[in-house]
Chains A and B, each alone.
Chain A
Amino acid sequence: EIVLTQSPATLSLSPGERATLSCRASQSVSNYLVWYQQKPGQAPRLLIYDAFIRATGIPDRFRGSGSGTDFTLTISSLEPEDFAVYYCQQRSHWPLTFGQGTRVEIK
């Protein structure tokens, strides 16, 4: 199965700063990469699918990029509500798999 490795494990930033999250796949997943956001005590929320397409209602400060094995989620200017855990997921090969998550915390 495909292993997704997210880095860093934790990102400490201030509101207004730019966040750059990485997801690396153990083999190519083409552009079949998904990003989710999860806040404490809540279910995850779909942010980005197929590497760069924002889901309905997702603000344009969230931007996905990459292809093959290396992907990035960029949050251009952190809002207070963006501090959360972010997961990547691949749909290129079965079974679907998730990365271990990156926590974006307030510095």
Chain B
Amino acid sequence: EVQLVESGGGLVQPGRSLRLSCEASGFTFDDYAMHWVRQAPGKGLEWVSGISWNTRIIVYANSVKGRFTISRDNGKNSLYLQMNSLRVEDTALYYCGKDRSPNLEAVGAWGHGILVTVSS
């Protein structure tokens, strides 16, 4: 059974940094692309970033480009999101997602999400 467990969220002041982690199990991690998708309270889904199985393809949403960095450690079955220069509008539930393929296509499995609150 695929399991994705996010950690690292919490309350942070605007302008500060936070690093999210996602520990994966139940599948061959380095065969699949991975994603971060967020959902602000009461709002819709927003795709944040994705990374291919071999890290050759890394893409960011325009809203986070230059501030967020996605990475993966295939040896640790883990996905990360380094979030710098956080803004109030980054407040959201952040989901870790496993693609259905090695490249950036569709999120076939989702974690439960981790809440990030940016507030002074």
Q: Are A44 and B45 in contact (CB under 8 A)?
A: yes
Chain A residues in 8 Å Cβ range of B105 = 32, 34, 49, 91
Choose among A55, A96, A98 the residue with the greatest number of B CB atoms under 10 Å from its CB.
A96
Chain A residues in 8 Å Cβ range of B80 = none
Q: Are B100 and A36 in contact (CB under 8 A)?
A: no
Chain B residues in 8 Å Cβ range of A100 = 44
A contact residues, total (Cβ < 8 Å): 23
Interface residues, chain A, with chain B CB atoms under 8 Å away: 1, 32, 34, 36, 38, 43-46, 49, 55, 85, 87, 89, 91, 94-101
Residue of A nearest to B65 (CB): A95
A40, chain B: closest CB distance, angstroms:
11
Question: Is B46 an interface residue when CB atoms closer than 8 A count as contact?
Answer: yes
